[in-house]
Copies of this chain bind each other. A is one copy, B any other.
Amino acid sequence: MLELAILGFLYDAPLHGYVLRRHIAALTGHVRPVAESTLYPAIKRLEKAGLLVRATEPGAVAAPRHVLSLTEDGGRELRRRLAEPAQREITDENHWFTLLAFLRHLADPAAQAVVLRRRLAFLEEPASFFYEGDRPLAAEELDDPFRRGVLTIARATSRAELAWLRDTLASLDGAGR
């Protein structure tokens, strides 16, 4: 998820770590903050894998900056991760939102549609958080107001997302034809 965000931001323009950090904080920081001690090793990992290169520039304000840019391999890897996400990226909202934030980098509308359809299939599966045996329980069947809240909120999210998915898929299919 973090690596995807790094690759995604660098796809648009070269950035140095400090700015990259603020970009990532804006994107997902209010939900799940990213520590510096997580970001810098992640950058090194990607550099070691040849997905990005760094160019040292004299610091505009303070210490020297390492400006990071994607290599061709990095661009390919980003597109690969966007086109063939692991199942976790589809099901976990945090991962999924990060993926959506960069899905436009997948130039082909048909490839974008494939990804959206995987999310659609996941949302269309009948699944709850609470069960009676194997039967998923509806919000109305629960006494617990907090568990009822979970289901109410999840249902509202699901409804909104399904509507958006169907809309967007229709216009992607239109564009592909």
Which size bracket describes the interface of A in this complex? Answer: 35 or more
Cα separation A153 to B96 with both chains bound (whole Å): 12
A177 to chain B, nearest CB (A): 17
* Inter-chain contact B91/A32, CB cutoff 8 Å: yes
* Inter-chain contact B26/A97, CB cutoff 8 Å: no
* A131 contact set on B, CB distance < 8 A: 26
* A32 contact set on B, CB distance < 8 A: 88, 91-92
Q: Which A residues, 21 to 50, have Cβ-Cβ distances below 8 Å to chain B?
A: 26-28, 30-33
On whether A100 and B159 interact (CB within 8 A), knowing A31-B92, A91-B30, A91-B31, the answer reads no
Q: Is A78 an interface residue (CB 8 A)?
A: no
Secondary structure of the A side of the interface? helix
On whether A152 and B164 interact (CB within 8 A), knowing A91-B30, A93-B94, the answer reads yes
Cα separation A130 to B26 with both chains bound (whole Å): 7
* Inter-chain contact A100/B150, CB cutoff 8 Å: yes
Cα separation A91 to B41 with both chains bound (whole Å): 25
Residues of A within 8 A of B (CB): 26-28, 30-33, 88, 91-94, 97, 100-101, 103-104, 112, 125, 127, 129-131, 144-147, 149-150, 152-157, 159-161, 164-165, 168, 171
Given contacts A97-B154, A155-B160, 13 further A-B contacts (CB under 8 A): A26-B131, A32-B88, A32-B91, A32-B92, A93-B93, A93-B94, A97-B129, A97-B150, A101-B147, A104-B145, A104-B147, A152-B164, A157-B157
